[in-house]
Amino acid sequence: MYCRKDHLLYLDTADDSYERIPASSSMKPYKIAIFFSGVERTLAGSGYNLRVDECKSAAYDLMAFSGMSYGKYADAVLRQVPSEVFEQYKDRLPENFRKRAEHFYGESARVEAGVKAWREGDIETFGQLISQSGHSSIHLYESGSDELRTMYEIMNRTKGIYGGRFSGAGFKGCCMALIDPDYEEEIVQQVTKEYLSAFPKLEGKYSAYICESADGVVMK
């Protein structure tokens, strides 16, 4: 609904405000690669709800440590806590709470850096930020599955991929990447070969798609 072809959607989920940022005329060509791992995404039974609780706990602890006013635990979110507060009190958090919060603040910074890179037409930096997001999701948020983590590593070493990560809630499902169209066929061949070599039982379930951005659904 919000999307437009060749635009970046800059969405603030706190108040649902958004900006559509057009691709710069100086930006190199790109396409979007979607690699389905062959493993269906399910949130039930995954670590997703636990990660949400860990982030809430980190926010609640940081507000208490710093003397910030706070309400119900259920309403606590890291967005309410300035990054300066996290830097000052992060060593008092349990390790897992600290790692989840570090991921959150890192992602927030990457969003702002990504918007800047997009406005400037710097697709290489934009892609690197996507890959850094994937690294943080694996090592700080500790999400993903063996299949998605393996695919992420394959994408990172494949020529022609500007950057990529797994998508959605990040425990199963798909990886996405921004790619140089000149390497489209080689990318699909390389990722497919390496991934199915690692997970041969997923042949026939795994799939790869190359697409372009498009306008979102129009409500009439």
Averaged pLDDT of the chain: 94
What pLDDT, in 10s, does the model give residues 172-200? 789 999 999 999 999 999 999 999 999 99
Angle between helices 146-156 and 123-139 (to 10 degrees): 150
Looking at residue 218, its pLDDT comes to 73
Residue count of the chain: 220
What are the tens digits of pLDDT across the range 36-83? Answer: 999 986 655 568 889 999 999 999 999 999 999 999 999 999 999 999
Say whether pLDDT at 141 is over 70. yes
* Angle at 195 (CA atoms; ends 191, 196), nearest 5 degrees: 120
Lowest average pLDDT, out of 36-45, 133-142, 174-183, 202-211, goes to 36-45
Provide the β-strand partners of residue 36.
Answer: 174, 207
Can you give the pLDDT at residue 1?
74
Helix residue spans in the chain (DSSP H): 48-66, 83-89, 95-119, 123-139, 146-156, 184-198
Kindly report the three-state secondary structure assignment for every residue of 57-100: HHHHHHHHHHCCCCCCHHHCCHHHCCHHHHHHHHHHCCHHHHHH
Whole-number pLDDT of residue 216: 85
Domains of the chain (ranges plus CATH)? 7-211 (3.30.70.890)
Of the CA atoms within 13 Å of residue 17, those in its CB half-sphere come to 2
**In the numeric block, which tokens belong to residue 10?**
């800059």
Q: How is residue 188 annotated by DSSP?
A: H
Q: Percent of the chain beyond pLDDT 70?
A: 95
Residue whose token pair is 């039974």:
45
Q: What is the pLDDT of residue 45?
A: 56
